[in-house]
Structure 1
Amino acid sequence: MNELRTRIITDEDRFNQLGEEWRSLWDGASLAAPVFGSFEWYRCWWKHFGGGEKSLFVIVVMDGDRPAAIAPLMLEKTRMRVVPARIVRFIENGNSLHNDFILAPGARRPLLEAIVSCLYEHRDRWDMAEFKNIPEDSENLPLLQQVAEQRGIICGTRPALDSPYIDISCEWEQFYATRTPRTRKTHRNLLNTIDKAGELRMVRLATDREYEAHRSAILDVAANSWTAQVGDSLATPRNCEFFDDLARVAAERGWLDIWLLMLNGRLVAFEYHLRCNGRNHALRASFHEEFSHLSPGAVLDLLVMKELFHDHAETREYDLGGSFDSYKKKWTPALRKHKMIHMFKPVPYARMLHGIEYGIVPVLKRARAAFARKRDGGGTP
């Protein structure tokens, strides 16, 4: 390895020019690299969610004339709890299920040292860093904290997302036989009920043309689903633009995998997935509230699961995404745990932020939990 050099990309045009180098590094980093580390994902994300109080802060570590590591970061002027703070974080929001640094194989420590050194050299630009949803089994996680603390940076870690997944390495019949009798009976009842409502058909979309043909129906379901009631459906303007763009890019790379449930020729439920490097990631799912009595979301979930097991030559893992909801627990006990690591530079203001996050906030949470226990137990706090 040559002498490492770092540069920070803050300009969107220069960021967009990184595409070829980013793809080369990401493709070589790991055969199991999740799609959320790809250039295509970050470019779509920044186009639709970046800007405003967020600015690019992408660190590129060069080994000679080629990139050896990329830290996909942004700088956000926001608040930590109620206190103003300039926070360096991954380019991400709730749509991003897994985050990590992208490193060439074989030189993990020196590359992480280069990233942390670059952050430290530019510490006048930020107050703290928040690296959210790094997989707990990532080799970067313990080294990152070690390297930062050697620099005098104050660190703290918190549990983050628990993301359920299913290992698809057997036949469907073998896997399904391990589900509880009650779960299998529920599925039979659901299928019998919806079959009586008419002709049922599942459609799988993989091309941009197929997506465009069904786009308006997908958005109609999203706009009339429970996700619309909480303000985060696929039909909201920003989400719509992001997932439209992502569908086109993903189709070009062979990643797009959208599932539709049609009842009497009408779309009643959909699931928006991406498949990449042997993993199938579930990003969004919605069903039309008009048909909620038929549980179309649960029916589609069952049919998709069955199809993925039949496709296990290409898919080795099904990432159910998001939090460990009760309906997902019926499918798998397996979790991919994630951690969030905070870094605070060694100056009074950042030390205050650390004191709030790791001193005051835990005390308040314990007090609230104690109050709730006494209240629920009928006692007086």
Structure 2
Amino acid sequence: MANPYEEAGVNVNSGYEVSNFVKQNLAMQHANANNIGNFGGMYEIPEGYEHPVLISSNDGVGTKLLLSVQGKKYDTVGIDCVAMCVNDLLAQGAKPQYFLDYLATGKVDSKIKQVLKGIMFGCELGQVDLIGGETAEMPDVYANNDYDIAGFSVGIVEKSDILRKENVQIGDKLIGIKSSGLHSNGFSLIRKIFFKDHDFSFDTHLPEMPDQKLGNVLLEPTRIYTKQIVPLLEQKMIHGIAHITGGGFYENIPRMLPENAAAMIDINSWKPQAIFDIVQKYGDIQLDDMFHIFNMGIGMVLAVDSNISSDVLRELNRAEKQAFIIGEVSERETDSVVLSGGSI
């Protein structure tokens, strides 16, 4: 006799299968898998803090998910989800500690395992423990192939080490760290440009990128900056951090600046990845608008004391050239972000 819940479209065993899948994969990574399947995730606060402050972040991936469904490529968006949460924690000076996910779909099938593999890999990159999550099968809310994802992460910081606006000083140098591409912002516009206005497909090879599928370039996962940022935080070398997400330079950089300060940025001090020129070309977007919407090749901006800026650059560029001095903090006259160079 059929289970009545299954007759309503829900596979009662799917949750157990997902839980076991995560447990087995975490065990292979030598991580603590005992939390998975419990009613709540447990985490012991590390010792050594005098006044520990927990900082929390949650985020999703936005309409980039629709591109994942379009191309039937599910193994990267989990990385995006971890990145969007973890990078926000770093921007407040916190060392990421643990992560939980929420997945909802019309049908739990192989795509969910691919998404979860991305989440687990993202946790490895972000140096956080995956301590729990939820997978919901909701056939009347989502079509079988559709899904949504959200992440929740917590970091820890000594209260005196929280990165506050007043830490940033006039004269500080601004150091930009490269992004991996578009990250997870602006995809409603991205999809309009490439798949509505120009009717390209996931598999299109543009003349500007003849060796790559357009969809794969757009799905390049968001870079996670734990490895780069945490050592600098531990050495107290950073005054402020801006995570460049939705709203680009103009919205995110002011979030780390005191009211009397402005970021003076030379856009010729780094070269964005080719995808940004391609988006600007096919979308017929003004350069200033590009900086209002996208990260333009810079995923993190650090404010550091000018006396140690060369030391910070040396640390960041030890293994690869990934960081550049892109400007400085000045007295604010009108705008809080002033771009110079190019056609701005």
Short-chain TM bin: under 0.3
Structure label with greater radius of gyration: 1
What TM-score, normalized by structure 2, do the two folds share?
A: 0.26
As a proportion of its length, which structure holds more strand? Answer: 1
